[in-house]
Amino acid sequence: MTSSGTAAPVTTASGAPDPVVGPVDVHADWRGVAGEDAEEVSASGSSFLRGRSRRLLGELLRPHRRALWALLCVILVQNAAWLAGPLLVGIGIDHAVPALLAEPADPWPLVWTTAAMVAAAALDTGLRYVFLVGSGRVGQAVLLALRRRVFRHVQQLPLAFHERYTSGKTISRLTSDVEALAELVDEGLDGLLTALSSVLAIGVVLLVLDLPLGLVALLGFPLLLVLGRWFQRRSTVAYRRTRQTIAALIVQFTETFGGIRAVQAFRREPRNDELHAALNEENRRAQHEAFWLIAVVVPAVTMIGNLVTVAVLGYGALRVMDGDLAVGVLVSFLLYLRRFFDPLQDIAMFYNSYQSAGAALEKLSGVLEERSGVPDPVDPQPLPHPVSGEVVFDDVRFGYGGAPVLPRLDLVVPAGQTVALVGATGAGKSTLARLTARFYDPVEGQVRLDGVPLDRIADADLRRAVVMVTQEGFLFSGSIADNIAFGRPTATRAEVEEAARAIGADAFVQALPEGYDTDVAQRGGRLSAGQRQLVGFARAFLADPAVLVLDEATSSLDVPSEVLVQRALQTLLADRTAIIIAHRLSTVEIADRVLVMEAGRVVEDGSPAELVAGTGRFADLHRAWADSLV
């Protein structure tokens, strides 16, 4: 269940890649082979899961214990008031109407009964309002607490978790699963409390009315218990499946519309229709299975109720004939019996919602118990102030779970140095960058900043000191100013504009209809790729860290824009440490030092001038590049 932080599952259970797995029919296995599926139902079994989710529910409800008890009292009184209505009408007909007809007519009994009825109705309604609003409040508070908890937790989990778990599944946890719980909150509590209270009350009445008949009536209970056990076992499995199938649908949905351009350009729609229909059908089946169970249980409860009624009727009739029982007792007993079994159906319905929510809670508690593989240190070591920015890789080994990507790396980047990383694609440049920003922890060895191992630095301190800008430059929906200010939320508008001006983004922003207040639309869809990179860059510029890591951060810019960015960088980087990954060697030339990487190793190391003058790979690369410029 725990993620080891550094090891994402890439290999089979046996560890070694298995070339024989190749499927015969390509289309039957279009998804392709991946390592073990990151499904979280563990071997420790279902009682473990149930325990875990019950614990979570308990934790969520604990702060509301008092309110829940109060609500229980309210609903009990309210029920009594509701039941009083019909009773009072009976009294009215039996006593008030005759009093009115009597000579002399006495209107007071009628007045009193009517007044009592109105009072009961008012009490009932008032308490109902209190109950509904009160339970709504508790329910919403629980949901809010749950949302906060899961969101915060997911934010804090390491990248390795997100890569393994996938965004679609995380999204489905935070939306659909929480909503399953909301359904329980919406529908459940009221019915349960009402039903429980009437079942208990009527059960007692039955026993008091006539003990032998009462015992016969209770004969139904063992049957109900058996039924309940059966339902519980089957529905746990069934609802667990529905959580998976709905998550699969959400994954398909988010992937499709995340890549809608490719979907449409490559005419993927019909195939996606098929895939979605299959997942949707699977979801329907899973739900059908779960709903079928409740469709059996509710009529079964009715059936048991009817059987018991017939038994009571037969046995009671015989006893009446024997003179052991009054007819009136038998009749009212039968009336009560009906009221006894009807609420049991409500309880069954509640239990059903509970099972459904329980399956969602299992998934949520699974995410919540996920421990960070890249944890915040318990007793963090402070960084010197100001951070000077020396980065050291000390005998670092790293892999994503499969083959090692960095077999053994020793590297010292003195404070203030600008280092360029070049090398073939897949050489491990981005990996090195990610280790510097502590997206992962090394499998072996240490990465240190100013002599402090990264895993001993408090997250907030580390993020202030080290900032990484990637090629994608993910933008959040909101204005351009908001997005730039993401680098430093306390920045004033002037500072934001200053940062944009410094890297040459000001011109295009000013040209937009609403300037810095233009909404970038989701994921920056309103901007061109280069413009997005500029905004991402301005963000890092504003953050102004001691160590700046740039992973192909200017790859989509035209040359003049890139030159502007470089000028800004030279100012910014004057006393900063920087690790720059770039394929355009023009970017590289602003570096003090160049590292050439190959298959996870540094194979050349020196100043740009030295390397160009030499005969190594960089000299080759540089020649090729210079030739390409024509």
Ligand X SMILES: Nc1ncnc2c1ncn2[C@@H]1O[C@H](COP(=O)(O)OP(=O)(O)OP(=O)(O)O)[C@@H](O)[C@H]1O
319 binds, among other proteins, ligand X, Mg ion, none (CB under 5 to 8 A by kind): none
Site stretch for Mg ion (CB under 5 A), options 235-243, 320-328, 334-342, 528-536: 528-536
Binding mask 27-56 for other proteins (x = CB under 8 A): x-xxxxxxx---------------------
Whichever of 113 and 533 has its CB closer to Mg ion, that residue is 533
The answer to whether residue 292 forms part of the interface with other proteins (CB under 8 A) is yes
Closest contact distance (angstroms) between CB of 36 and Mg ion is 39
Q: How many residues does the chain have?
A: 630
Report the residue from 528, 570, 571, 607 that binds Mg ion according to the rule CB under 5 A: 528
Find tokens 């295009």 and name the residue. Answer: 508
Task: Return the structure tokens found at 362.
Answer: 């299992």
Binding mask 5-44 for ligand X (x = CB under 6 A): ---x-x----------------------------------
Residues 391/448, Cβ–Cβ less than 8 Å: yes
What are the b/e assignments for 107-135, b being 16+ CB within 10 Å?
eebbeebeebbeebeebbeebbebbeebb
CA separation for the pair 250, 169 (Å, rounded): 7
Closest contact distance (angstroms) between CB of 530 and Mg ion is 6
* The residue type at 132: L
112 binds, among Mg ion, other proteins, ligand X, none (CB under 5 to 8 A by kind): none
Residue 47, CA atoms < 13 Å, CB-side half-sphere = 0
Whichever of 51 and 107 has its CB closer to other proteins, that residue is 107
Reduced to 3 states (helix: H, G, I; strand: E, B; else coil), residue 539 is helix
Residues 206/214, Cβ–Cβ less than 8 Å: yes
The secondary element (H helix, E strand) that includes residue 198 is helix 178-209
263 binds, among other proteins, Mg ion, ligand X, none (CB under 5 to 8 A by kind): other proteins
The answer to whether residue 327 forms part of the interface with other proteins (CB under 8 A) is yes
Kindly identify the residues of this chain, within the stretch 70-89, that bind other proteins according to CB under 8 A.
82, 85-86, 89
Task: Return the structure tokens found at 564.
Answer: 């502007």
The answer to whether residue 174 forms part of the interface with ligand X (CB under 6 A) is no
Whichever of 359 and 534 has its CB closer to other proteins, that residue is 534
CA separation for the pair 458, 46 (Å, rounded): 37
Task: Return the structure tokens found at 86.
Answer: 């019909």
CA separation for the pair 429, 419 (Å, rounded): 12
The answer to whether residue 138 forms part of the interface with other proteins (CB under 8 A) is no
Binding mask 108-147 for ligand X (x = CB under 6 A): ----------------------------------------
Site stretch for ligand X (CB under 6 A), options 222-230, 429-437, 454-462, 612-620: 429-437
The answer to whether residue 529 forms part of the interface with Mg ion (CB under 5 A) is yes
- List Cα–Cα distances, 544 to 432, 436, 495, 541, in angstroms: 21, 16, 12, 5
The answer to whether residue 13 forms part of the interface with other proteins (CB under 8 A) is no
The answer to whether residue 624 forms part of the interface with other proteins (CB under 8 A) is yes
* The residue type at 453: P
Of 247, 186, 238, which is closest to residue 359 (Cα–Cα)?
Answer: 238
Kindly identify the residues of this chain, within the stretch 510-569, that bind ligand X according to CB under 6 A.
525-531, 556
The secondary element (H helix, E strand) that includes residue 603 is strand 601-606
**How many Å from the N-terminal Cα to the C-terminal Cα in the chain?**
56
Report the residue from 220, 358, 366, 536 that binds other proteins according to the rule CB under 8 A: 536
The answer to whether residue 163 forms part of the interface with ligand X (CB under 6 A) is yes
Cis amide prior to 212 (ω within 30 degrees): no
Q: How many residues lie near ligand X (CB under 6 A)?
A: 20
- 392 backbone dihedrals φ, ψ, rounded to 5°: -125, 130
Residue 467: alpha-carbon gap to chain centroid: 26
- What is the layout of strands, in order, in the sheet containing 601-606? 466-469, 547-551, 577-581, 418-423, 593-598, 601-606
Q: How many residues lie near other proteins (CB under 8 A)?
A: 204
Site stretch for ligand X (CB under 6 A), options 183-191, 241-249, 419-427, 441-449: 419-427
Whichever of 213 and 597 has its CB closer to ligand X, that residue is 597
Binding mask 432-451 for other proteins (x = CB under 8 A): -----x-x------------
Cis amide prior to 414 (ω within 30 degrees): no
Site stretch for Mg ion (CB under 5 A), options 205-213, 326-334, 504-512, 529-537: 529-537
Q: For residue 351, what are the contacts with CB-CB under 8 A and spacing of at least 6?
A: 228, 231, 232
The answer to whether residue 628 forms part of the interface with ligand X (CB under 6 A) is no
267 binds, among Mg ion, other proteins, ligand X, none (CB under 5 to 8 A by kind): other proteins
Closest contact distance (angstroms) between CB of 259 and Mg ion is 17
67: buried, middle or exposed (CB in 10 Å: 19+, 13-18, 0-12)?
middle
The answer to whether residue 326 forms part of the interface with other proteins (CB under 8 A) is no
Closest contact distance (angstroms) between CB of 389 and other proteins is 16
Binding site for ligand X (CB under 6 A): 8, 10, 163, 400, 405, 425-431, 525-531, 556
Binding site for Mg ion (CB under 5 A): 528-529
